[in-house]
Amino acid sequence: MDFNIDSWLNLVIRWFHVMAGIMWIGTSFFFIWLDNVLQPEPEGGKGHVGKAWLFHGGGFYQVEKSLVAPASILNSLHWFKWEAYVTWLSGFALLIVVYWWRADLYMIDPTVANLSVAQSIGIGLGALVVGWLVYDGLWRALGERAPKLALGISLALYVAVAYALTHLLSGRAAFMMSGAMLGTIMAANVAMVIMPNQRKMYAAATAGGEADPRLSYQAKRRSTHNNYLTLPVIFMMISNHFSMTWGHAMNWLILVALFVVGIGVDHFLNSRDKGNKGVGYAALAAACAVLIAAIVCTAARAPSAPMANAATTSAPVAFASVQGIFATRCVECHSAYPTSKLFPIAPNGMKFDTPAEIKLAAAKIKLMAVDTNAMPLGNLTHMTADERATLAAWLTQGAPIPSTVTAQ
C-alpha cells in the first residue's frame, strides 16, 4: 500500500499556507484601506486619528483609531499576528518539503551554475537571513532621517538580489526564493518591529503613561511595507506555473518587472482610497506599461537554439525518433502508469504513452522542452541538446504523426 506521503505533505502544507496567506493579506489590505478612509473629527480628543462607518453582513460598524489608549482596554483586544506567523511557518515548511528536500531537481540548474545540493540550499537560506538583516538595518538607519533614500537603496538591492539568484539557482527556484525572502521580511516585520512596538505602547497605556510616538510611526511604516510587498509575493508564489517567466534568458529582468507591476497596482489602490486619484491612475498606467513590456519581452525573444537550428533542417524527422525520446526521457513521469517515485500520477495530467497524446501536447512540449529547459524537471533523465533539436525539428515540420500510428 502506497500512501504517497510526499504528495500529501505537499498538499496539506500548501493548503494551510494559502489559507493563512489569504487571511494575512486580507487583514493587511483591510487596515491599510481603513487608515486611508478614516475621517478626523474635531471632538476626537488627544491622539485621535479618525473614525469610519462600515456596512457589511447586514450590520453597521463604527471604527475609531487613536494613538492614545482609552481609559480602559477590553480584555478581548485583538493583536493580528498569527496570520503572519502561520503563513511564514507553513511557507518555510513548504520550502523544505518541496524545494530543499529535492534540491537536485528544483534548486539546481547545471546550465546556470554547477552547485551541490548543500550549496543551493545554503544560497536559499542565506537569501532569507541576509535579506532581512540588510533590509532591517537599512531602514533602522535611514527610515526616519531619509526614507526616500532608504527606498531607493532597497529597490536597487532587490534588483541585485534578483540578478544574483537567477544566476545561481534554477529559474524556478530563483523566483520562489525571491518570494520567500520578501515573505520572510514581511513576517519578521511583524515579529521583530510591529508586535514589540505595540507591546510597548500597550504597556505604557495600561500603566497610565504615554508611549513614544516613534513606536507607532515605525510600526505603521513596516505595516505599509508589508502591504506593498503582498502582490509581488503572490506572483512569486504562483510563478512556478509559468515557465515563460523564469525560463526566459532575461528572467531576472522579468522578475523585477513583475515586482514593479505588483507595487504599482498596490499604489493605485492605496492612492485611490486616499482620494489621490491622479497619482493612483498614473501608478496603474505605469504598472500596465511595465506589464506590457514584460509580455513583449517574452514574446519577442530570439528563437531558442534548437528552434533556430530546426529552421535550417529540411530532412523529415522520423516519428520513431521522437517517440524514442519520450520513451526514455519523459514517460517515467508522464504516463498513465508512472515509474518515477516522484509522481504517483502524471503531472498536470500530461501523458505521452501514445502518438496521439504526444501530438496533442505539441505546443506544451515546445514551451517546456524546446523554448526552455523547464522539462524534464531538473533534467533528471538527462535529455541532450541533440534530442531537443530533434524535437524542435519535428515541431517545425508540423508535429506530424504517420497515418499508420495515428489511431494508436
Q: How far apart are CA 203 and CA 213, in angstroms?
A: 14
Most confident range, picked from 37-51, 158-172, 335-349, 374-388: 158-172
247 contact partners, CB below 8 Å, separation of at least 6? 171, 172, 371, 372, 373, 374
Number of domains comprising the chain: 2
> What pLDDT is attached to residue 8?
84
Residue 106 lies in a domain: yes
Whether residues 256 and 375 fall in one domain: no
Q: Last residue of some domain: 283, 299, 315? A: 299
Residue 52 lies in a domain: no
What sign for the dihedral angle of Cα 202, 203, 209, 214?
negative
Instruction: Check whether 161 has a pLDDT greater than 70.
Output: yes
Neighbours of 139 (CB within 10 A): 21
Residue 342 lies in a domain: yes
Cell 529547459 appears where? 373
Q: How far apart are CA 344 and CA 326, in angstroms?
A: 18
Whether residues 191 and 257 fall in one domain: yes
Whether residues 216 and 89 fall in one domain: yes
Q: How far apart are CA 245 and CA 332, in angstroms?
A: 26
Whether residues 175 and 291 fall in one domain: yes
Mean pLDDT of 273-295: 93
The better pLDDT of the pair 303, 199 is held by 199
Whether residues 233 and 86 fall in one domain: yes
Confidence of residue 313 (pLDDT cuts 50, 70, 90): low
Whether residues 128 and 113 fall in one domain: yes
Confidence of residue 175 (pLDDT cuts 50, 70, 90): very high
What sign for the dihedral angle of Cα 216, 268, 289, 179?
positive
Of 25, 378, 295, 377, nearest in space to 182 by CA: 25
The better pLDDT of the pair 132, 326 is held by 132
Whether residues 295 and 309 fall in one domain: no
Instruction: Check whether 405 has a pLDDT greater than 60.
Output: no
- Which residue blocks in 143-250 are alpha helix, DSSP H? 147-166, 171-189, 195-206, 213-238, 243-246
Residue 72 lies in a domain: no
> What pLDDT is attached to residue 181?
97
Most confident range, picked from 32-36, 56-60, 178-182: 178-182
Instruction: Check whether 244 has a pLDDT greater than 70.
Output: yes
Confidence of residue 210 (pLDDT cuts 50, 70, 90): confident
Whether residues 282 and 315 fall in one domain: no
Interior angle at CA 18, CA 368 and CA 338, nearest 5: 40
> What pLDDT is attached to residue 234?
96
pLDDT above 70 as % of the chain: 92
> What pLDDT is attached to residue 301?
58
Of 24, 78, 52, nearest in space to 223 by CA: 24
Most confident range, picked from 67-81, 270-284, 341-355: 270-284
Mean pLDDT of 296-316: 65
Instruction: Check whether 167 has a pLDDT greater than 90.
Output: yes
Instruction: Check whether 223 has a pLDDT greater than 90.
Output: yes
Interior angle at CA 154, CA 159 and CA 190, nearest 5: 120
Residue 2 lies in a domain: no
For residue 122, the enclosing domain spans 77-299
Do 359 and 408 touch, CB atoms closer than 8 A? no
Backbone angles phi, psi at 345, to 5 degrees: -130, 160
Mean pLDDT of 307-323: 72
> What pLDDT is attached to residue 407?
44
Whether residues 238 and 317 fall in one domain: no
> What pLDDT is attached to residue 304?
58
Backbone angles phi, psi at 56, to 5 degrees: -160, 145
> What pLDDT is attached to residue 132?
97
Residue 291 lies in a domain: yes
Mean pLDDT of 107-112: 88
Whether residues 181 and 295 fall in one domain: yes
- For residue range 333-367, list pLDDT tens digits in order: 898 888 887 777 888 888 888 888 888 888 888 88
The better pLDDT of the pair 311, 399 is held by 399
Residue 208 lies in a domain: yes
DSSP string, 30-94: HHHHHHHH-B--GGG-TTEEEEEEEEETTEEEEEEEESS--SS--TT-----HHHHHHHHHHHHH
pLDDT above 90 as % of the chain: 52
Residue 329 lies in a domain: yes
Core vs surface per residue 142-176: b (16+ CB within 10 A) or e: bbeeeeeebeebbeeebeebbbebbebbbbbbbbb
Q: 345: burial class by Cβ within 10 Å (0-12, 13-18, 19+)?
A: middle
- For residue range 360-391, list pLDDT tens digits in order: 888 888 888 888 888 888 787 888 888 888 88
